[in-house]
Chain A
Amino acid sequence: MLLMFFTERAYHAVPEDEVFRLRSFFGVPNRFFDPKKGAQLLNEYIDEKILCDEVGFDAVMLNEHHGTPFCMGAVMDVEASILARATKRVKITLLGNPTPVVANPLRLAEELSMIDMISGGRLVSGFIRGAGSEQLFNNANPAFNREYFDEAHDLILAVWTRPGPFRWEGKHFHYRFINPWVLPLQKPHPPIWIPGLISVETVIWAAQHGYPYIALATVLKPTLELFNVYAKTAAEQGYQAGPENFGYLQPVLVADTDEKAYELGKCFMFGGGFSHFARPEWMFPPGYNSKDAIHRLAAQAANPNLPSSPFQHDPVNEAEVQEMKRKLYASYGDWQKQGQVVTGSPKTVVRKLRHILEVLRPGIFSFWLDGPLALQDRRNCVRLIGNEVLPELREIGKELGLEDPFTRKPGSVLLNGRPHEAVGNAALLDTPA
């Protein structure tokens, strides 16, 4: 079992009402950004990851977003480069570089090679399509998003593994002379993991390549369904998927007592949390979804772009902002019940997480800490997880046989014609934690 730490590196000094007014973190005007505050926070977030290295996490995870106080990590390779040198043990897990919006796969391959070398071979290199809003921010044509992603992936692997110099004339990328003098330390190349939210296409693609799939805080039941889509695809490729193929990320807040953790856990709801990541019309730019996905979405009455949708995102007045906020925070109990936020003392959190591990059986579990929290509470949370939660989870991992991608190579359990087994433990879904 591989245990990981993640934070969005948010800029919580933004006035929360601005997020509600826009119903979106993406697009909040950057006049609210103070670089002095940003500088302090970025350094605190780096220090936090160094602390994770010291208190026993196996990996630290980075991501990137653009144009949003939700995440200041606009260029994750910059942070990864610092951590490559400043940490000693942890895997530096990038989930992931948005290849369609970076739009220069050769440059990306070089950056990642350098990070792998400087870290002594501790890089895990994930790739993503990038959220819809990233396509708008970076002016990356969403209609070619999937094509960019596929070709960038093939190109990066070629850069890492094919002796140079060689030439690349693809559909979207063209290089006349590829011969980098930086190559990954890990052979044949750093591990590749693929994070995702709901895209079935992405799950299938990951399974076809034998890349572990990391579900990002999605609800348990659909997550398990997606894991089994992966397992079915894996079987078509001839292997049995197991815990080494799966990861799960979950917001977790640990404090000294259950009561304190419950209170502090409200920080995850700041600004509406992930549900206000970006407005729907920015999350679904043109051509970003497959035709099948569009057809499925069209059938949903709640679709925000639908002409008859109640979600028209007209400007909201002050009273409506306050009402939205009130309703949101009033729903905190439901967030807790549905497991969207896991809080408690170390002991309580171990019990709750055990349930998740039993249901999903992931080989990788990542803690997610975010929200406007006092620095001492954040540090305390990380230390409590490191000292009291991680040792317990390791024992549970052993007991449940949760192999991770480093203890069992994904795709190595061959079926040799046998039927495949379902993954996870659907029977436990309805059992309370």
Chain B
Amino acid sequence: MSEPLIEEKAAVGETQLCVLRRGRGQPLLYLHGELGFEGWCQWHEALARKRTILIPLHPGFGRSQPADWIMDMRDLAAFYSRFIRERKLAPVDVIGFSLGGWIAAELAAANSAQLRRMVLVGAAGVRPPQGEIMDMYTVTARRFLTRCIRDPAAAPEFAALYTAAGAAPQNQAAAQWEAWEDARAATARIAWKPYMFSQSMPHLLANVTALPTLIIWGRQDEVVPLSAGQLYHEKIAGSRMVVLDQCGHMPMIEKSAEFVRAVQDFLE
């Protein structure tokens, strides 16, 4: 890690967005999930050798200001469409995880010309044909996180990010909890009902005709069932799908090496 993680403010309309950046080369936009940016991980580091990773914190998530007018996921996607246009990023490569995957899919459905390649990881946004998206609002954030991963013991990075918080100093744990509460509230504003999916998404994906798309899923994903990934695969013309065995909702942390290899192969 030679370069520091740079934090910048970027104005999108009246909203000050906090954008994290590290790496070199062509930009790679990472859209984080419903509990906020998890922290700089091995997979970021690996991809940052050849790419500049851009991580905007979604409006209302911690250090990014909320935007009162954003009341559903399509609003948020339109917000990011403006961000991409004004930062002259288009066409940009994007990786979206969980809620961030839903944003990416909305962006693609609305104007796929803004994207060069898209990676969806355990993406929300469609109703799974089998099973339901796990409701994070009836459990604590901590319990939700532990269900995001199939085997915490086999993923030391997960422990470093989350479970170690239990042993962290009180103020640090409190700060993490506060960030989760911000994230949960900001997510509720746009994804409360129906929870974490759009009824129209499978139909809108017909607009995505020429966007190279990679769909990565953990076979044992308890949060967004695999069938949702299969639906994305079916609806996005020409998409590729990689299903990782013995893996839950967070392949990039649980199967970091396989994840990085798949993404690198796809992007290059």
Contacts and interface: CB of A to CB of B under 8 A. Distances in A.
A298 B193 CA distance: 27
Interface in B165-197: 165-168, 170, 173-178, 180-182, 184-189, 192-193
Contacts of B165: 307-308
B187 A303 contact: no
B189 A143 contact: yes
A294 B178 CA distance: 7
Contacts of B138: 136, 281-282
Interface in A128-146: 136, 139, 141-144
B175 A143 contact: no
Nearest to A295: B178
Given A281-B138, A282-B138, A287-B188, A294 B170 contact: no
A299 to B, nearest CB: 6
Contacts of A142: 185, 188
B173 A286 contact: no
Interface string A288-306: 0101001100110101111
Given A305-B141, A312-B142, A139 B193 contact: yes
A141 B193 contact: yes
A307 B175 contact: no
A141 B140 contact: no
A183 B162 CA distance: 56
Contacts of A372: none
A299 B178 CA distance: 9
Contacts of B153: none
Contact of B178 (A285, A286, A298, A312): A298
Nearest to A281: B140
Nearest to A289: B181
A235 B78 CA distance: 46
B188 A305 contact: no
Given A141-B192, A281-B138, A305 B181 contact: yes
Contacts of B187: 286
Interface in B8-23: none
B181 A301 contact: no
B140 A308 contact: no
Contacts of A312: 140, 142-143
Contacts of B176: 307
Nearest to A141: B192
Contact of B142 (A282, A291, A307): A307
B189 A305 contact: no
Q: Is the interface of B mostly helix, strand, loop or mixed?
A: helix
A299 B174 contact: yes
A102 to B, nearest CB: 16
A308 B137 contact: no
Nearest to B178: A298
Contacts of B170: 301, 308
A404 to B, nearest CB: 39
Contacts of B141: 305, 307
Contacts of A282: 138
Contacts of A305: 140-142, 177, 180-181
The size bracket of the interface on B is 20 to 34
Given A136-B138, A305-B142, A308-B168, A287 B184 contact: yes
Nearest to B187: A286
Contacts of A298: 174-175, 177-178, 181
B6 interface: no
Contacts of A294: 178, 181-182
Given A143-B189, A286-B184, A308-B173, A281 B139 contact: yes
A291 B178 CA distance: 9
A273 B162 CA distance: 34
B166 A308 contact: yes
A123 B177 CA distance: 43
Given A286-B187, A295-B178, A307 B137 contact: no
A304 B180 CA distance: 13
Contacts of B186: 143, 287
Contacts of B184: 286-287
Nearest to B66: A291
Contacts of B137: 136, 285-286
B166 A307 contact: yes
Contacts of B181: 286, 289, 294, 298, 305
A286 to B, nearest CB: 4
Contacts of B177: 298, 303, 305-307
Among B141, B177, B186, B189, max chain A CB count under 10 A is at B177
B173 A306 contact: yes
Given A312-B140, A312-B142, A141 B178 contact: no
A82 to B, nearest CB: 33
B6 to A, nearest CB: 26
Nearest to A306: B177
Interface string B239-261: 00000000000000000000000
10 contacts: A136-B137, A139-B192, A143-B186, A286-B137, A301-B170, A306-B177, A307-B176, A308-B165, A308-B166, A312-B140
Interface of A: 136, 139, 141-144, 281-282, 285-287, 289, 291, 294-295, 298-299, 301, 303-308, 312-313
Given A286-B188, A308-B173, 15 more contacts: A139-B193, A143-B186, A285-B188, A287-B184, A287-B186, A294-B181, A298-B177, A305-B177, A307-B142, A307-B173, A308-B165, A308-B168, A308-B170, A312-B143, A313-B140
Closest 7 CB pairs of A and B: A287-B185, A286-B184, A307-B165, A143-B188, A286-B188, A141-B192, A298-B174
